[in-house]
Amino acid sequence: MAILKIARMGHPVLRRPAEPVADPTAPEISALVDDMLETMIDASGAGLAAPQVHVAKRLVIFHVPGHRADDEDESVPLTVLINPVIEPLGKERDEDWEGCLSVPGMRGLVARATRIRYSGLTPAGGRIEREVEGFHARVVQHECDHLDGILYPQRMTDLSKLIFESEARHWFQAHDEDEEDEA
Ligand code: NI
C-alpha cells in the first residue's frame, strides 16, 4: 500500500474522460484500490476518483462513517465502484457545500440531483445497484463527475459562493450550517 500524489485542478488528467476498466478483478485494480483507500484516509476525504491519483480509469471510492456524518442517516458505506452509471430519479435538486481534494482549501455551493440510482461493478466481480438520496447521492455525483473530467466549480452557477475554507466560518456562522467533508 502507498499514499499516492493527488492531482490538483489544472492537471490535464482531471480534465479528460477516463477509460472503462476492462477487468475489475485484475490484480492491478485491487492494488490501485488499496492505494486509493490509504490515500483517501490519509487526506481525510469522503471520496476519491482514480483520475485524482493520475490513473485515467473509471473507478471511484467513497465513504462517510456514521460518527463523521452530520447525522446517522448521512453515513455512506465504504464503496468501491467501477465503471459506474448514474441516473437521476426525478427533477428535484438541492444545493450544498462541497470540497475536493483536487481543489484544496476551497468550498463551493453546488446544486445536485437529490435522488439518484447508481450501479457499477466491484473488484470482487460483483455488481452494485443502489437508490440513494441526500449526501450519499451528492458524493457519488461528485466522484463520478471526476470520471468525465468535471470538477465541482464547473457545476456552480454562482461563483460568489466559491470560497476559501479558511473564510467559510463567516458563512457557516451566519447561516448556522455545518461543513462537509472533502471528496
Ligand atoms: Ni473531488
Reported as a single tens digit per residue, the pLDDT across 7-52 is: 999 999 999 999 999 999 999 999 999 999 999 999 999 999 999 9
Question: 79 alpha carbon to ligand 1 midpoint, in Å?
Answer: 15
Q: How far apart are CA 149 and CA 147, in angstroms?
A: 6
- Cβ atoms of 48 and 60 closer than 8 Å: yes
Tell me the pTM: 0.92
- Comparing 65 with 107, which gets the higher pLDDT? 107
CA of 139 to the centre of ligand 1 (A): 9
Asked if pLDDT for residue 179 goes beyond 70, the answer is no
Longest dimension (CA), the chain: 50
Interval between CA 34 and ligand 1 midpoint (Å): 18
112-141: pLDDT as tens digits: 999 999 999 999 999 999 999 999 999 999
Active-site residue, from 98, 143, 180, 182: 143
Would residue 125 be called left, alpha or beta, if left means φ above 0 and alpha means ψ between -120 and 50 degrees?
left
Residue 148: strand, helix, or coil: coil
Q: Ligand 1 mean position to 100 CA, how many Å?
A: 4
The predicted structure's pLDDT at residue 135: 92
What span, in angstroms and rounded, lies between the C-alpha atoms of 96 and 106?
14
Q: Name the region of 149 (left: φ>0; alpha: ψ -120 to 50; beta: rest).
A: left
Active site residue 129: no
For residue 59, pLDDT beyond 60:
yes
